[in-house]
Each structure stands twice: as C-alpha cells, then as structure tokens.
Structure 1
Amino acid sequence: MFTINPNASDYCYDITGEIQSYPTTLFWNKSTDCCSWDGVHCDETTGQVIELDLRCSQLQGKFHSNSSLFQLFNLKRLDLSYNNFSGSLISPKFGEFSSLTHLDLSNSKFTGLIPSEISHLSKLHVLFIWNPSGGLYDLSLSLGPYNFELLLQNLTQLRELALYGVNISSTIPSNFSSHLTTLELADTHLHGVLPERVFHLSNLKTLVLSDNPKLTVRFPITKWNSSASLMQLYLYGVNITGRIPESFSHLTSLHDLDMGYSNLSGPIPKPLWNLTNIESLILRANNFAGQLEFLSFNRNWTQLKRLDFSSNYLTGPIPTNISGLQNLTWLYLSSNYLNGTIPSWLFSLPSLQSLDLSDNHLSGKIQEFKSKTLLIVILKQNKLEGPIPKSLLNQQFLLALLLSQNNISGHISSAICNLKTLVLLGLKSNNLEGTIPQCLGEMSIWILDLSNNSFSGTVNTTFSVGNQLNIIKLDGNKLQGKVPPSLINCEKLEFLDLSNNELNDTFPKWLGDLPILQVLKLRSNKFYGPIRTDNLFTQIRVIDLSSNGFSGELPMSLFQNFQAMKIIGENSGTRKYVADSYSNIYKSSLIVTTKGLDLELPRVLTTQIIIDLSMNRFEGHIPSIIGDLIGLCALNFSHNVLEGHIPTSLQNLSVLESLDLSSNKISGEISQQLASLTFLAVLNLSHNHLVGCIPKGKQFDTFGNSSYQGNDGVRGLPPSRDCGRDGRVPQETIPVELDQEEEEDLPMISWYAVLMGYGCGLVIGLSVIYIMLSTQYPTWFSRLVVQLEHKITTRIILCSDHQVFNLILILQKITSYISMYFRSPSSLKLLTLTLYF
C-alpha cells in the first residue's frame, strides 16, 4: 500500500547526525516465511505475528482502515514511527488489538482526532503519539479533553505515555497509572494546575511538561514519593509559582533539570546544590539575580556536564577558584551582567564543547583553550581584546566562532583554513586588519560576517563551486577593487552586504543570476556607470545602491524582474525572516535608510521590501513600472537628477511606508491619488519643481512643511490651510509679474512670525523714517515706497488668506496711533508697508 521514499523518514538520525532510515519492506519476499522478514517477529510456539517494527522504514502513502495490518489480531508490539502517512487519520481499528502492549505512532504525520477506541487497549504499557512537526505552530493531532480523561482511566497498566505535540487543551486529571515511569505531555495546550499526585508517583522517572505556558506547577513542600526515582524533569516554558522548595534536596537521582522560561526569581536556590547526580541544569530566561560565587564552594556538581544560566540578572565576576566542574561540556552564561576577566579554569576545561558568554561586560584577553573538542564558541558583545587565540584556529570539529562586537585586534591567521567544519564565522565590529584570507570561500561556511573592521586590499577570496554560503557581510571596511566574479558560485546566497567600502566597479549585474539572493547592499562605494541588466534578481527584497556614482536612466529592466516585490507579504501571524537558518545564535542585521533615518534591523523580515538608489546621478523619468512593485515598504530616489512627473502608478503601493524623492528636478503636480497610501508615514518631496495644491486627506494631513519645502509652485502650506477658496490649483496666468527676488520660497505666516516681524519692522521702519527726515525726502525713497507696495500687493494676491487681511487691519490701527508723529503721507505709507513686509 505504500511507496518507498527516503525523505519520508527524514527525522531518523543517530547521534552523529547520520540518517538511520532503512526501507524494511522493500526486501520482504513472499516466497519465504514472513517470520524471517526484517521487522517481523513471531511467537515461537504458534507462529503468529506478535511484533511489527517498521520504525524509520521510509514508508509514504495513505493509511486506510481496510489495511491488512488490522488482520494481525495477536500483535503485542506495533511501531510505525518516523514514516510519512500524511493526511491519514488514526483508525479506530487500532483499538481492536486487544493484546497490544506497545503502540508507537510518533512522527508519522497522522492528523485529526485520536479515536477514543485507543482507550480500549487495556493491556497497553507504552503509548507514544508524537507530533513535533506540528507543535505550537500546527496541532494537527488532537485528543479531546474527555478522551484524555478516559484514556488515563482505562489504561491502568501504562508505564510510558508520550503525547508530545498533540492538542489536548484541558486540565490534567489525577487518575494516572501507578505504574507510570514516563509522562511526556510537552506542547499540548494544557492549562490549570498540575495535580500534586503526579509528583508522588513512586515509579516516575521522566516528567516532561514543557511548552505549556498556561500550565501552573506548584512543587510539594515535603519529600516526594518519586524523589528517589525521578531522573529527568523538563518544565521549560511553564508557569512555576513560588520558589524552589527544600524538597528538591531529595531528588538524589535527578540527571536532567530544565526550568527555563518559568518565571523563577531570587538567587540560585540552595536546594539545587544538593543534586549530586545532576548532569544537565538549565535555568535560562528566568529572573534569577545575584552572583555566581556559590560555584566556588559547591562540591556536589562533579557530574555536571551542561550548565545554562543565560538570560538572567546575574552580576559580578565569574569565580576564579572553581575545581568541581571538570566534566563541563556546555557552559551558557550569556545575556547577564557579568564583568571582569574570564578565569583561567574555564579555558582549562578538558572536555569543553560549547561556550556562550555573549552579551555581558567581560574584559581582558581570550586565553588559549585546552579543549580539543570545541564545537561552539560565542563571546560576542563584550569588551574582550587581543588577538584571536591560536587554539581556536586548530579545532577539528569547530562549527561556530562568534567574537563580534569586542575589541579583538590583529590579523586573521591563515590557520583559519584548518577549520574544515566551520559553519558560522562572526567577527564584526572589532579592530581586525589586513587582508581577508583567500580560503574562506572554499570552506564549509554558511555565514561569513567580517563587517565593521579595518580589512583592506582587494577581495581575493575564491568562492568555490558548491560552497554553502548563505550570508556574506563585508561592509564597513576599507576594501578596494572589484566585486569578485567567483561570487556567482554562491548559489545558496541570500544576503550580500558590501557597503561602506572603497570598491570601484560597474554594477555586478551577474549577481542577478543567484537564484535566492534576497538582500543586496552596495551603498557608499565608488560604483559607477549605468545599470543595464537582463539578469533576473527575481527574489530580491532589499536593494541598496545609494551613495555611489551610478548614472544614466533608472534601470527599468531591473525593476521588471523584481518578482518578489510584486507580492504583498501575507500577515499570517508567523514572522518569516531572510537568511534565518541560525537565528538562535546569529541574526543577520542590516542598516537601511527608511523614514528619513538610518535604522538597524536586527533581522530582515521577508515583508520588509526596500529600494534605495539615492545619492547617485540617475536621470530621466521615474518609470511607471515602479507601481507594479506592490510589496514595497520604502522607496528612496532622492539626490539624483530625475525629472518629469511623479507617476500616478505609485498609488498602487498600498503598503508603502516611506517615500523619498527629494533633491531632484521633478515637476508637475502631486497627484491627489497618492492620498490613498494609508500606510505612508514619511514623505519627502522637497527641493524639486513641483507645483499645485498639496493633496488633502488621510496621511497627507499629517505631513509637515519639510515634506514640500523648496518647491516654488506648491500651494496649501501648511496642510491645514486651504489651497485657494475652492481647493483648486491657482491659475498659472496670474495678472501680476513677480520680480526675480519673488522666485524664492514664500514663507508661511504664523502668529509667532507676525509678532517677530512686527517688532523688527517697527525698529527698521522708525530707522528708515529718521533717515528720510534727516535727508529731506530723497527721490530714492519715493521709488522704494512704490516697489514695496507692489511686492506686498503681489503677496496678498497669491496668499489669499484671511490672516493677511486681519493683519492689515491690525497694522492700520497701529499706524493710526503713530501717524501724529509723521507729517508725510509717504513716510506713513512706508511705515505701514515695512511693518507688514
């Protein structure tokens, strides 16, 4: 009934990461006794099939209720885990295996409601129905609240119950089998309070309730019945009330304890110090405070291999006199407030594999590591200095080396070429210099981040065919020369940032052939010439070519190929990011100019679609095809030599948040249709040759004068004012000629300006009158009066504002009071005009 597909068992890995699936049924031979087949076991007396083990057998297809499987009435053990029965329901007929003691349907993509008939399997010892491919994101398997209680009530022989990733959505009943050794209910939407009886199950060895944020756990104050047997306790992401009680001291068999993200607070609880057999202790992302001094005198954690106190509020230095943690393989103390130097005992741990001390205030040099088994070293966001230790460059299995945002100095030694397994290399924001090693493009690296250092010379790195590079960030250095053509071999590249260097090249149009390139940033270099390309760039979402010397017309052929920009991202509630494969330890940040500011995006959402071609020498018209890129969030063509009109097609950019066309030679009117852009938060059309009325309504009512300044013909400033009495554009044939001086931008009149102008005008006016009287009314004064009267009359005609007329009335009253001091009609007229002007 099923086909064989190796991908149907894609979760079947061994400890080394090798796939361990096997097409069991492919070698079944009908001519031989089925009891000899792989995965089939028979009763030696009766010859009946009693066990069927098809785990990781690469089976794919629909699992129907008429399957011949259900004719094996004597089955005692059935394992169908790690196959692909996608779209199949769990048949009620599974409940007819009355002799069944083991049933494992984990990771086989069953969907729908788990039938209540499963509760008929009264002899069941083991029931595993995992669904981790769904989990919090897609609970495709569910077990109704009533069925859950029925299940626990009838299956009185259960030893192991695992319903990981199944939607139960209920409280936890207390009628568990007394034989229970394993209870795994992680990510099942449980709520309410965990019954205390669970802690008193005398045979309980493993309790996993993680990822149930609405579940409240209260620990017994007294000794638990399961204290002596409990070996694994996973309460990650549940709500633990109160503090860790003294009863924890009795968990003498506990090996693994995970209470991360559980709202715990206070100092590290002393009851945990007595866990003499603890191997893994995870208390990350809580509210623990205080210092780590207890590590100095705690002698009970000699078996500890994994310690995780990251994302808490721990302070002070890391203790220096520690001798009882020699078996540590994983140490995570990131995102705290630790200071001082890293003690030498830590570098001397012989079996250390993973170290994360990032995001603290640690200083001093990084010493040489004694361990030869390092897999992950993350020391970013501290104040560490000195060169990169040689021991880090001689690790046989190193996967990730992240030393970003420190004061690391020196060169990158060619010894880095020895790191054959390296996947992540993050050295950004340090003081490294010299040239970039040529071998970096020939290694197994996925993420290469050398940004914001002082690397110089040309990019001689050879990017080999078949490389795995997903992110390359070389921005903020002193690199020269051309973009290396071998980048075309990076077929898995999503993110390329070469900005803020001294690269001198034409546009590398061949990058458009990279099939999944989504972010291309070349800003602030010395690129030059026109952009002519027929290459695809189909997946590009962010392209920043600003602050270069590109010229010619805007590349219409380039815009035509931006297929990913022609789709508005779905707001599904699940955020998706560009190049996000290792987001748990590395985030591909990007600085973009949007909404008038340089902003750093810690991660780039797939919906953040940006085009920035500002500060170049582009000329010609803005192509109307831009209106087809309906996913655009930010568009910046400022500081070029563009002319023509603003295309009305921009009204189609319904999610546009920032539009900057400033400092060009764009003319014509601002289309009223642009008022339909309801997401537009920032608009800059300043310093162009625009005319006519500013559109009214919606977002345009929120933009200030700075959005339009430097456009002589724009009317309607500020936005609250009318643009003429009927809201139409004033006629271009105004029956008054403006002097050349009047071609300057006419300022708006506000009452602050009126008061300031009145004060200044009064002083100037009185001074002019005094000069006039003392020179006995010269002829130049008469001409001055006529010119001022002409200019002010012109302004009144253009402004057509009731405030102007109110001001004139006020000035008339003022001049009537001072007229007694001046006998000349011309002097009085000059004073009035000067005050107004």
Structure 2
Amino acid sequence: MQTLHFSNKTYSKILHIPSLGLALVLLICLASPTSSCTEQEKGSLLQFLGGLSQDGGLAASWQNGSDCCQWEGITCSTDGIVTDVLLASRSLQGHITPSLGNLTGLLRLNLSNNLLSGGLPQELVSSSSILIVDVSFNRLGGDLHKLSPTHARPLKVLNISSNLFTGQFPSSTWQGMKNLVAFNASNNSFTGQLPTHFCASSPSLAVLELCYNQFRGSIPPELGSCYMLRVLKVGHNNLSGTLPDELFNATLLEYVSFPGNRLEGKLQGSHIVKLSNLGTLHLGENNISGEIPESIGHLKRLEELHLNNNLMYGELPSSLINCTNLISIDFKNNNFSGELAKVNFSNLPNLKSLDLMHNSFSGQIPESIYSCSNLTALRLSSNKFDGQLSEKIGNLKSLSFLSLANNSLTNITRALHILRSSKNLTTLLIGLNFVNETMPDDDSIAGFENLQVFSVERCGLFGQMPRWISKLENLQILMLSDNQLTGSIPAWIKTLSNLFYLDISNNSLTGGVPKALMDMPMLKSDNSEAHLDPRVFELPVYIGPSRQYRVPIAFRNVLDLSNNKFTGEFPLEIGQLKSLLSLNFSFNHLTGQIPQSICNLTNLQLLDLSSNNLTGGIPGALNRLNFLSAFNISNNGLEGPIPSGGQFNTFQNSSFIGNPKLCGSTLTHKCYSDSIPPSPRKKRDMKAIFAIAFGVFFGGIAILLLLVRLLISIQKKGFMAKHRRGSNEDVEATSFYSSSEET
C-alpha cells in the first residue's frame, strides 16, 4: 500500500484535520483489482511508458498483450477502470505525457521521488476525475499553466514541491479549483508576490505550503479569510513587512511558519490569543522585535515555539509555564535578559529541547530546568550564567546534547563528576568557562560511556591531557584548544579507535610528534566520512560566525596540533592517515624535510606547515593532491622550485613567503630559467665547453699563421728579385709583410 506525502517530513500533528483527513483517506482507499481494462486506457498507459527514457523496469510488467489492471503500480475498479497510478521512487526518467489525462476514471496519481523532467501537463490539473496529484521531488520545471475556469475541478490535493518550477501563480489557475484542500509548492523558484486569491478560489483550503521560493512583498491580509486553513508555511522567502492583523482571523490555524524572511514589528498579545488551536509558531530568522507577550500563556496547545535569530528583548514571561504541552523552545540569538529562575520550568514536563544560546540571561542556572525529565537537548551557551553546576542536572536521564559554553561557570572538577552520571550524553560542550583552573586528572572521573563529542576549549586550563579521556571509548571529536596544557601527547591517544577530529592547538605541548598519532584507526581508514550518532546534533553546532554544523558529515577528519612547542621531524608514517582532510602543524619547532609520504594523503583539503624550521625542497608529488584548497608553508627554511600544475597553480604568494631560497614563477625570486645562477656542476660543464671552443678557435689561428708564413716566404723571393731592379713600391710591401710575420 502506498501513500502520498505533502513534503519530505511527516507532520503527524496535522493528520487529525477533518478536511485534510478526507483527502488522505482517499490516498489509501484503494479498490480491489479487476481482471480487465479497456484498450483505450491501456494505450494511454503505454504512451506514458513510451515517454520515459528510463522506465525503472516497468516494461517487464507493462506488456501490450496483458491486462493493464495487473500491471505494476496500476489499480483498477471492479468495472476495469484505472483508478490509481502509483509509481513513486522508481527512478523514472523522461517526460510526463498528457495521455494520463485520458484515463477518465483516474483518481490518484503519484509520481513522486523520480527524475522526471519537462512540464506538468495541463490535462492532469484540469482532469474531470483526478483527486490527488503528487509529482514532488522530480525535475519538473517551467511555468504553471493558465487554466480556463469553465467548471470546478475535483482536484483536492496537489503536491508539486521540490521541483524546478518558476514564474508566478496565475490567478486563473486556481479559479477552477473549488475543491482544493492541500497545496504544496515548496522548494521551487516561484517569484512575485504571494497570491491573494487562494481562499476565495478554494474555500476548503486547509494546507498551504510555499517554503523555499522567491516570493517577495508583504503577507496578504486576504489569507485571514482562509477560515478552514490549518497549516500555513511560507518560510525562507523574501517577505517583508509585519504580520497583518487580519491573519489572526484564521482561527483554525494550527501551524504558522514564516522563518527566514525579513518580517518586522512586534508580537501583539491581543492578536495571538485568537489562535487558540496553535501547535507550532515559527517566526525565527526575521527582524521581529519587542517582548514576548504575557498572553502567550493562553496558547494551551502550543508544542513548538521558535523565535530565534530576531531582535527580541526583555525577560521571559512567567505565563510561559501555562503552555504545558511545549516540546521545543528556541529563543537563541536574541537580546533576552534577566534571571531565568523567574520561569518555573517544572510545569513543562513534555519539554525535550530548550535552546537559549546567545542572549544575556544572568544568575545561576535555575534548578527547575532539571525537573524536565524528558529533556534531550539543552543549550545555555553564550549567556552570563555563573556559579557551579547543580547536582540535580543528573535528573535529566534522557539528556543527550548539553552546551554550557561561554558563561562564567566555575569548578570544572565538580562539573565533570556530576555530569558523568548522565549516561545518555553524546555531546558535551563546556568551553569558555572555568578560567585558569586545572584540568582534572582524576581516574575517578568515569562514565561518559556514550560521549562522542567533547569540547573544553578556550578555558586557559593548566595541567596535562588527562588519562581519563582514554576511557571514552566512543569519543569521535575532541577539542582541547586554547588552554595552557603542557607535557607530551600521551601514547593512549591511539586507543580512541573512533576519534577522527582532534584539535589540541594553542597550548604548550612539547616533545616530538608521537607515532601513536599515526596509528589512529579512524584517520588511517580509507573512509573519510563521519559516522556519528544522529542524536549528537539534536541542535546545530556553531563554529565561527558564519558556519553551523547540523549533520555529522559536516565535520571533517581533522588533526590540528598548531601553535604548540613540538620539536623533531615528521614521522614518515604520516602517510598512513589516508582519511585526513585537514592537517595543521603550523607554529611549532619542527625540523627536517617535508616527508614524501604526505603525498599519499589524497583526500587532504587543508595542509598548513607554516612557521616551523623545515628545510629541503617541496615534494613535487604534492601537486597530485587534487582536493587541496588551502596550503601554507610560509616562514620555514625551504628551498628549490615550487611544484607546478594541479592545485599549486591556485595558491597565492602568501603560501610561500618567508622561505628566501624558494623560487617559482609567482615569486620575485625566479628559478634558473630566468635569473638564478647555475649550480657548481653546471659551471664545470660550461668551463669544459668554453675550453673546447677556445682550443678550436686558437687552433684555427695557428693554421692560419702557418699559411701566412708560407705565403710570406714565397713573396719574399719575388721581392728580392724585384729589389734587384730597384722598385721603391715593393719596399713598402716588405715592411708590411715583415710586421705581419712578427704578428
């Protein structure tokens, strides 16, 4: 049995909607197959098959001489009329032919999750029989057709989401859709302003999803006349202005979502109380300001409240505790302040996720939060909380994600002893606290059996890398950067068989680069993809001002030992770390040459060896690292030519500066072909060539002189004969030849 989906998520909370429920019932009420079908309908189906360039194996079932009611994906009524064409997720390629519109009894068409291209045939939307059309998750494109509103079509559900449709919604398209209950056009490229005629044309409309498009302008007040509307999702567009007062007249609304726009204004308490059925309110990533109104407590059915990334301020209203069905609260990146203790979280027993990151809450963390026994994700980072962690946090038996970073908490030893009882903890981020304390090296710190991500960064902690970390058998990401840790990297590091991300930069670690690092199983693996538990990122992890990691694959395989005091040469075994994507040994005291084995790290995207004491040449085979996008060997003692070709043609001069003996076409110091003096061997070769040329030249002159001498001798005899006759003219000739002979 196959069903249609309105989007890539399942919204179980809307399945009880009466009008939409009728449409969904139609999806699964499949009639019993019969034993015959008409030749006309068989021909229409074969025309559709003929329009496919890849049929997903349908041709084996769709034979011309057989009954089409027995074909795969086809269901007929008892009188042999085709009622269902259900071919989702079959890898179909090609076009949707208009012939499907000739199936006069067709009720349900599902071609979702394929690779179909071209347009959506007008015959399907204007059919006199079809109730449900789902062509989501394909490559269909172009504009929607303008339909003639001659009569009301029976179409109830239209899902064209996740395609390549463009243009605007023509009003005439909807005037004939009097029976439309659910419409999903999310994740396309529709433009223009939001249509104002939805509800006037389709008074039964219950679900309207237009997320991830390019709509602009304000929210039309006419949406308030959609009196049957239950789900309104128009997030991630370019909408501006305020929430119109009229919108709150649609009092049946259960799901209101406008994130990722440019909406502004304040939440009006007198309006919000009208939406007594509201289960989800998502207004994050806008420019909404003001305080949360006290009347929020009247929304007794509220389960999800997202006001993140806005300009809101003030204290949280104590009436929030009246929303006892709340499951998720997201207020991060605002200007909320005050003591959080004024909200008694113990009245929110269903709360699973609480995100208050980047606000200005102060005081101690209220112990009432620890009464929310179903809490799985808690983030209080980047606030002004102080004091020590309460032992009652151990009551959160389901807690998987905990971030307390960037506050003013104290006593790290106590905190770790308390948190070890949280058996389900997979992510623990407690950096930027415990300033200048000592890293506890207490073997009694056990537990953390499921911990996969552990960050204690930027605390200025003294001490060494503690042995108890070696007990974290499931650890995959370890961040200890920006502390004052000393000593060497312990040999037990290689026992962390799942570790693929190690950042111990900006410390005072000493000694050589241990061979134990070269034996880390996950870095030696041929697979460079992370395999973290899905619970690890129940909330997005932010690293830097513009990046966030929500999925495990976003974390690269990293080895960062930069800005320490490591000495000695690179271990030749570094070429074993084949899954590495980022290798940073900059700002240390490493010596020797860049090992040729680094060229085996073919997945490498970042290589930084700058500010060391490396010598020798750059291995030419590094130009085979086709994924290398960041490369820095500046401020060393390297010499010789810079390799050419591959990624090396893209690196800036700054990657090589501070190496006076390096040469290359991009540097002021050119290689031999331009101006660099030849090597000693080349000088010896040049001297030999010059000597040969010199010998040949002067040997020729000697022969020439012998010929001249012979010629002079002959002419002397002639001259003597003439002399006897007293020729004055020949006396001058004698002077010339005499001087020539001397020469």
Normalised to the residue count of structure 1, the TM-score between the two structures is: 0.65
**Partner residue, 2:231:** 280
Cα pair distance change 1:731/1:611, threshold 3 Å: farther
**Partner residue, 1:482:** 440
Cα pair distance change 1:629/1:516, threshold 3 Å: same
**Partner residue, 1:452:** 406
**Partner residue, 1:319:** 268
**Partner residue, 2:381:** 428
Q: Deviation per CA, 1:51-99: give whole Å up to 9, x if none.
A: x9999xxxxxxxxxxxxx99x9699xxxxxxxxxxx9979628999979
Pair 1:213-2:164 in alignment: yes
Q: Which letter maps to 1:182? A: I
Helix, strand or coil for the counterpart of 1:533?
A: helix
Distance in structure 1 (CA, Å) of the matches to 2:672 and 2:36: 92
Corresponding residue to 1:401 among 354, 357, 367: 354
Q: Which letter maps to 1:426? A: R
8 Å CA contact retained: 1:509, 1:535: no
Corresponding residue to 1:310 among 235, 259, 283: 259
Helix, strand or coil for the counterpart of 2:411?
A: strand
Distance in structure 1 (CA, Å) of the matches to 2:87 and 2:133: 12
8 Å CA contact retained: 2:587, 2:612: yes
Cα pair distance change 1:557/1:150, threshold 3 Å: same
Q: Which letter maps to 1:387? A: E
**Partner residue, 2:278:** 328
**Partner residue, 2:426:** 470
Equivalent runs, 1:333-372 vs 2, <5 Å: 333-368=283-318, 369=320, 370-372=322-324
Aligned residue-pair number: 626
Cα pair distance change 1:509/1:118, threshold 3 Å: farther
**Partner residue, 1:759:** none
Distance in structure 2 (CA, Å) of the matches to 1:245 and 1:510: 63
**Partner residue, 2:694:** none
Pair 1:693-2:640 in alignment: yes
Distance in structure 2 (CA, Å) of the matches to 1:302 and 1:120: 40
Cα pair distance change 1:371/1:485, threshold 3 Å: farther
Structure 1 residue 262, shift from structure 2 partner: 3.1
8 Å CA contact retained: 2:420, 2:447: yes
Cα pair distance change 1:622/1:198, threshold 3 Å: farther
Structure index of larger Rg: 2
Pair 1:563-2:522 in alignment: yes
8 Å CA contact retained: 1:327, 1:351: yes
Cα pair distance change 1:523/1:563, threshold 3 Å: same
Helix, strand or coil for the counterpart of 2:117?
A: coil
Structure 1 residue 398, shift from structure 2 partner: 1.0
Distance in structure 1 (CA, Å) of the matches to 2:653 and 2:190: 51
Cα pair distance change 1:344/1:130, threshold 3 Å: farther
8 Å CA contact retained: 1:174, 1:198: no
Q: Deviation per CA, 1:173-201: give whole Å up to 9, x if none.
A: 34445233333222233333444559854
Pair 1:378-2:330 in alignment: yes
**Partner residue, 2:217:** 266
Q: Which letter maps to 2:108? A: E
Corresponding residue to 1:411 among 350, 361, 364: 364
8 Å CA contact retained: 1:259, 1:282: yes
Pair 1:704-2:673 in alignment: no
Pair 1:92-2:61 in alignment: yes
Structure 1 residue 325, shift from structure 2 partner: 1.8
Corresponding residue to 2:86 among 126, 129, 134: 129
Distance in structure 1 (CA, Å) of the matches to 2:239 and 2:367: 42
Structure 1 residue 437, shift from structure 2 partner: 3.7
Helix, strand or coil for the counterpart of 1:169?
A: strand
**Partner residue, 1:497:** 455
Corresponding residue to 1:618 among 534, 556, 566: 566
Corresponding residue to 1:521 among 471, 479, 484: 479
Cα pair distance change 1:387/1:465, threshold 3 Å: closer
Q: Which letter maps to 1:532? A: A
**Partner residue, 2:557:** 609
Distance in structure 1 (CA, Å) of the matches to 2:223 and 2:362: 41
Distance in structure 2 (CA, Å) of the matches to 1:438 and 1:88: 61
Distance in structure 1 (CA, Å) of the matches to 2:111 and 2:443: 52
Structure 1 residue 382, shift from structure 2 partner: 0.9
Greater relative CO, 1 or 2 (CA 8 Å, sep 6+): 2
Distance in structure 1 (CA, Å) of the matches to 2:621 and 2:153: 73
**Partner residue, 1:640:** 588
Distance in structure 2 (CA, Å) of the matches to 1:448 and 1:658: 30
Cα pair distance change 1:460/1:672, threshold 3 Å: closer
Normalised to the residue count of structure 2, the TM-score between the two structures is: 0.72
**Partner residue, 1:26:** none
Cα pair distance change 1:413/1:73, threshold 3 Å: same
Cα pair distance change 1:434/1:718, threshold 3 Å: same
Helix, strand or coil for the counterpart of 2:199?
A: helix
Helix, strand or coil for the counterpart of 1:161?
A: strand
Q: Which letter maps to 1:338? A: I
Distance in structure 2 (CA, Å) of the matches to 1:516 and 1:88: 43
Distance in structure 2 (CA, Å) of the matches to 1:730 and 1:513: 57
Q: Which letter maps to 1:396? A: P
8 Å CA contact retained: 1:577, 1:605: yes
Helix, strand or coil for the counterpart of 1:460?
A: helix
Distance in structure 1 (CA, Å) of the matches to 2:441 and 2:609: 29
Structure 1 residue 684, shift from structure 2 partner: 4.6
Structure 1 residue 328, shift from structure 2 partner: 1.6
Helix, strand or coil for the counterpart of 1:425?
A: strand
Moved more, 169-178 or 694-703: 694-703
Structure 1 residue 361, shift from structure 2 partner: 0.9
Distance in structure 1 (CA, Å) of the matches to 2:416 and 2:249: 53
8 Å CA contact retained: 2:76, 2:82: no
Distance in structure 1 (CA, Å) of the matches to 2:148 and 2:527: 49
Distance in structure 1 (CA, Å) of the matches to 2:286 and 2:270: 20
8 Å CA contact retained: 1:208, 1:233: yes
Distance in structure 2 (CA, Å) of the matches to 1:220 and 1:717: 62
Structure 1 residue 127, shift from structure 2 partner: 2.6
**Partner residue, 2:135:** 185
8 Å CA contact retained: 1:517, 1:539: yes
Corresponding residue to 1:547 among 499, 502, 506: 506
Distance in structure 2 (CA, Å) of the matches to 1:564 and 1:89: 44
**Partner residue, 1:25:** none
Structure 1 residue 468, shift from structure 2 partner: 3.6
8 Å CA contact retained: 2:587, 2:611: yes
Stretches of structure 1 lacking an aligned partner (at least 5 in a row): 1-10, 18-51, 56-68, 76-86, 104-113, 132-138, 571-575, 592-597, 735-837
Structure 1 residue 373, shift from structure 2 partner: 0.5
Helix, strand or coil for the counterpart of 1:443?
A: coil
**Partner residue, 1:255:** 206
Q: Which letter maps to 1:449? A: S
Distance in structure 2 (CA, Å) of the matches to 1:125 and 1:170: 24
Q: Which letter maps to 1:275? A: C
Distance in structure 1 (CA, Å) of the matches to 2:111 and 2:623: 54
Structure 1 residue 542, shift from structure 2 partner: 2.3
Cα pair distance change 1:483/1:192, threshold 3 Å: farther
Pair 1:237-2:194 in alignment: no
What is the identity percentage for the equivalent residue pairs of Structure 1 and Structure 2? 25
Q: Deviation per CA, 1:220-248: give whole Å up to 9, x if none.
A: 34973432x32222222244455414463
Cα pair distance change 1:91/1:433, threshold 3 Å: farther
Cα pair distance change 1:127/1:93, threshold 3 Å: same
Structure 1 residue 385, shift from structure 2 partner: 0.9
Cα pair distance change 1:519/1:264, threshold 3 Å: same
Helix, strand or coil for the counterpart of 1:482?
A: coil
Cα pair distance change 1:692/1:245, threshold 3 Å: closer
Q: Which letter maps to 2:86? A: I
Cα pair distance change 1:614/1:288, threshold 3 Å: closer
Cα pair distance change 1:208/1:674, threshold 3 Å: closer
Q: Deviation per CA, 1:573-627: give whole Å up to 9, x if none.
A: xxx89676687x8322335xxxxxx996656755733221123333332101112
